[in-house]
Amino acid sequence: MKISSKITSPIEEEMKHFGPYYKKNFDTKIPLLNIITNYLIRRKGKQMRPMLVFLSAKLNGSTDEGTYTAAGLIELLHNATLIHDDVVDETYQRRGFFSINALWRSKIAVLVGDYYLAMGLIKSLEENQTEVLRIVSTAVKEMSEGELLQIEKSRKLNITEDIYYEIIRKKTATLIAACTAAGALSSGASEEQISKMRDFGEYLGIAFQIRDDLLDYEKTNLAGKPTGNDLKEKKMTLPLIHVLEKMPASKKRQILSTIRKHHKNEKKIAPIVQYVKDNGGINYAREKMTEYRDKALEILNSYPESDAREGLIELVHFTTTRKI
């Protein structure tokens, strides 16, 4: 799904200069590191996080060197966490490209992730961006907590809706909130504006993750049936959690037992996916996604009209209607 020009046009110049700015952080005398870095730069995605930093800065003022530092730091730490996630999850492809651990083994992938983390820390200190470093470091801490909480709960399969929101706030929303808060900070925004943009990013991040959970029920295999990939990994997401909380105890035990014992068996999982669809799980999750989308839009509508505001509004709608 292509990014709308409404999103990119207010920050066209910034994104054009961001690529070379980001790449120059990786000058190293280690040939292997250069090869891996060039590979990662070539397979870059939509760069939503730098976009959020620049749009947030423009919404609250203007961009400057500090905005580039914030965007670069977040992109470095985001890539580091993705590399580490691929090792932990034993994932060998991301966005149609082989992961670092697939091509160069897990040991090298972990070391490259560590290098990116260190580069982010050094860059922020060199630019005297300690407040941005605090924002982003808090996000990385919470992302780790969210991952560990999800692992713990997937073992016991006892996730309530409140715990689900805690997990996705920490795992996904906290980094998006760091983007919007850091962007506002770099523009010289007040504490009140920074806090408002942090809330905006958190609402956007939660809506983003719920949409991701819904996509798992919409994606189909070659036979045209839902893939149920989250269930295969014993990930309890909002559509299923909602249905479990209102079903009879005996049926709940039966479903949890199937997930616990047969989560990798597509034939066993498929009826659970259908049951969730038939019993309102999808509609409920869509309603909740819309609630968080509207909370994010309400914050944007409190700002005067501008190209940056329109870009962020378009980005919110893109996030909650995307097909991938």
> Residues 291, 295, 299, CA angle at the centre, nearest 5°?
165
- CA distance linking residue 147 with residue 129, whole number of Å: 27
pLDDT band at residue 46 under the 50/70/90 scheme: confident
The structure tokens 């560990």 sit at 148
In this prediction, residue 228 carries a pLDDT of 65
From the number of C-beta atoms within 10 Å of its C-beta (0-12, 13-18, 19+), residue 130 rates as exposed
d(CA 141, CA 221): 36
- With a cut of 70, say whether residue 1 has pLDDT above it: no
Give tens-digit pLDDT for 91-109. 777 767 788 888 888 888 8
- Residue tagged 């990798």 (tokens): 264
- Please, what is the end-to-end C-alpha distance for the chain in angstroms? 7
H-type helices in 61-173, by residue range? 65-88, 100-126, 130-156, 161-168
Q: What angle do CA 8, 14, 15 make, to 5 degrees?
A: 55
CA 288/CA 238 separation, integer angstroms: 9
Domain total of the chain: 1
Distance separating alpha carbons of residues 234 and 153, to the nearest angstrom = 9
What tokens were used for 244?
């479990």
Q: Which two tokens stand for residue 7?
A: 């999103």
Quick one: what percent of the chain has pLDDT higher than 90? Answer: 48
Q: Is the CB of residue 101 less than 8 Å from the CB of residue 109? A: yes
CA distances (Å), 95 to each of 15, 43, 56, 114, 161, in order? 21, 8, 26, 22, 29
**Domain membership of residue 149 as a residue range:** 5-321
Among 112-121, 123-132, 137-146, top mean pLDDT goes to 137-146
Q: In the predicted model, what is the mean pLDDT of residues 278-292?
A: 96
Q: What is the mean pLDDT of residues 58-82?
A: 90
pLDDT of residue 223: 43
Rg (CA), the chain: 20
Separation of alpha carbons 46 and 33, rounded Å: 23
Q: Is the predicted pLDDT of residue 222 greater than 50, yes or no?
A: no
Distance, CA of 29 to CA of 37 (rounded, Å): 12
d(Cα 215, Cα 274) in Å, to the nearest integer?
14
241: domain CATH number? 1.10.600.10
Measured CA distances, 120 to 12, 115, 128, 175, 180 (Å): 24, 9, 12, 14, 18
pLDDT tens, residue by residue, 177-189? 999 999 999 999 9
Q: What is the pLDDT of residues 304-323, one digit of tens each?
A: 999 999 999 999 999 999 88
Whole-model pTM: value is: 0.90
Tokens describing residue 259: 């997930």
Q: Give the tens place of pLDDT for each residue, 224-268.
A: 445 567 788 788 899 999 999 988 888 999 998 898 888 888 888
